[in-house]
Amino acid sequence: MNASTRLCAVIGSPVRHSASPAMHNAAYAALGLNWRYLAFEVDSKNLRAAIEGAKAMGFAGLNLTVPHKLLAVEMVDELDESAKTWGAVNTIRFGPDGAVGFNTDADAITRAIREDLELELRGAKVLLLGAGGAGRTAALKLASENVAELFLVNRTQSKAEEIAKEIKKRFPSVRVASGFPKAMVDLVMNATSLGLKADDASPLDEKQFSLKQTRAVYDMIYQPAETKLLAAAKAADCKTANGIGMLVHQGAKAFEIWTGKSAPLEVMRRAAEGSVYGL
């Protein structure tokens, strides 16, 4: 690291669990790039100042995690088509055109589900937990994949209802509702932050929906590698996957946006898994 080193970082709250520094720094080393990737704890009230500060200091880019993905939409100079389409920003590139916001989560979500759960989304019935930045992106992307039915549950139910209304307008062939389904579904997906902390409750209210009603559970959280939700899902004989595949695919796309080079995907995957599983 020297005076010419290009810098990127992930900002969020919490952020200490992040495997992104290990993943991106391994990728930079593999390609012989004089780049480094850092992590900063940033409260939402300081998000605008953090983005402006990174831009002023010549950072190449930022990743945004909880709880910043929706807030950042109003804080960048320009939105890439991906951010306009999915309504959230998880990647920022700094350059002559200022701070440009991208969304690399959407494609990563569906790619990870297909790879890790071997689940075809077209025609599937999905229960989605969470309507924040990650939840909104997931809901819209799942609808675009032509799921048959989508059930949205959020602590503040009005947020789920807002997303359901948007889906009905943009993807009228998808049956969407806010609230828990009564019948079986193919997939339960957690897009909340519940599970990041050891004392977090499960994001799923099993009094309203039993894990026996689904055949697969995907948790966007990857640290811890097995959340309470995933442990309960395994006990219920569900197929399960955590969010490490999504992390790798969204990170690879961000890497390419910043560097203009093809991401060394397997290097990034090994580094992420090493960080999470201690391999």
The rounded distance, in Å, linking the Cα atoms of 209 and 236 is 13
* Dihedral, CA of residue 131, residue 269, residue 24 and residue 66, to nearest 10: 10
State yes or no: is 169 an active-site residue. Answer: no
DSSP class of residue 76 equals S
Task: Give me the helix-helix angle, 244-259 and 105-117, nearest 10°.
Answer: 140
Count helices and strands in the chain by DSSP H and E runs: 9, 12
Residues 10, 18: contact at Cβ < 8 Å?
Answer: yes
The residue annotated as part of the active site, out of 45, 55, 69, 169, is: 69
Let me know the angle formed at the C-alpha of 265 by 21 and 189, rounded to the nearest 5 degrees.
75
Query: Could you tell me which of 70, 72, 73, 108 has the C-alpha nearest to residue 257?
Result: 108
Sequential DSSP letters for 161-175: HHHHHHHHHH-TTSE
What positions carry a catalytic annotation? 69
